[in-house]
Amino acid sequence: MRYRRGFIALSDERDVPMLLAIRNARAITCDQISTLLLNNGTERCRRSVLWRLDRLEQNNLIGRIDCGRLLPEPVFAVTRSGLELLELRGQALLSLPSTTKEIVRRSQVLHSVELAAICAALTAAHVLVSWQWELEVLSQNLVYGGECTKDFDALVEVSDGNRIRSFAIEFERTAKGSTRYVDLRKVLGTANGVDTILYLTPDPSILYLLAIELRSVNKRIGFALSRTFRSSLLSTNVITNRTANDVVTFRDFLFG
């Protein structure tokens, strides 16, 4: 069978998983994509990842985001054509249809890249069981009225080798005003489907602000610096919203 000129034949086993990873993350770096795909068995070598990225970019299914000098490597996002192709393959997201006006806002890029870095770190350490991105959570809530009534940044399952535990991740890159934390306490307190939340932030002052503002929420909440969590993962010391803001390892917090 001869294909028309300009047609791109895509593999359901390798091209589509890469497109899904880029779409679901909103914005993701080359290294992060490589880590995810090499560790989940989709790809076998980094050279293949780079070749596939270039092929998808050349065919306008993904595109680079201009981050200026903020990040040392290219950042990719899915394009409208990429979304249309995924929809044709039965991989639509109600939270990000191909008709959307803006696929990724500049204000979302650093937030999304940090979450992708956290996902990649858990994946590389072979403790990640499952990861649902915010877009997936939102889509499920829109379609099915999902169990989780708040659109967390990620819903995660990890294993310590014997047990599996689930929790939600929220990444707080900048501080909110005091009135917004009042609303957030109400939202978190009534959120169904999640009992344990890990709040991550790049800034120590925001870390302690969160620990103070959210200590009365009737959920199990841990607070840590995102860069520390990426390097230490289950061994990370987290501040908890227990009495006197105890500090324990994330492993003890989650599995204890």
Residue-level pLDDT at 4: 54
Domain-wise residue ranges, the chain:
1-124, 127-256
Residue-level pLDDT at 242: 81
User: pLDDT tens digits, the chain, 256 residues: what are they?
Assistant: 444 555 577 888 999 999 999 999 999 999 999 999 999 999 999 999 999 999 999 999 999 998 888 888 899 999 999 999 999 999 999 999 999 999 999 889 999 999 999 999 999 999 999 999 999 999 988 876 655 568 899 999 999 999 999 999 999 999 999 899 999 999 998 888 899 999 999 999 999 999 999 999 999 999 999 999 999 999 999 999 987 669 999 999 999 8
Model confidence pLDDT, tens digit, residues 120-151: 999 999 999 999 999 999 998 887 665 556 88
Cα separation of 150 and 129, whole Å? Answer: 21
Residue-level pLDDT at 159: 98
Cα 240–chain centre separation = 22
Instruction: Give CATH for domain 1-124.
Output: 1.10.10.10
Spatial CB neighbours of 188, under 8 Å, sequence gap ≥ 6: 150, 197, 214, 217, 219, 221
For residue 45, count CB atoms less than 10 angstroms from its CB and return exposed for 0-12, middle for 13-18, buried for 19 or more: exposed
**Token pair for residue 10?**
């895509």
Element at 155 (helix H, strand E) = strand 154-159
Cα separation of 110 and 108, whole Å? Answer: 6
* pTM listed for this prediction: 0.92
Residues facing 147 on adjacent strands: none
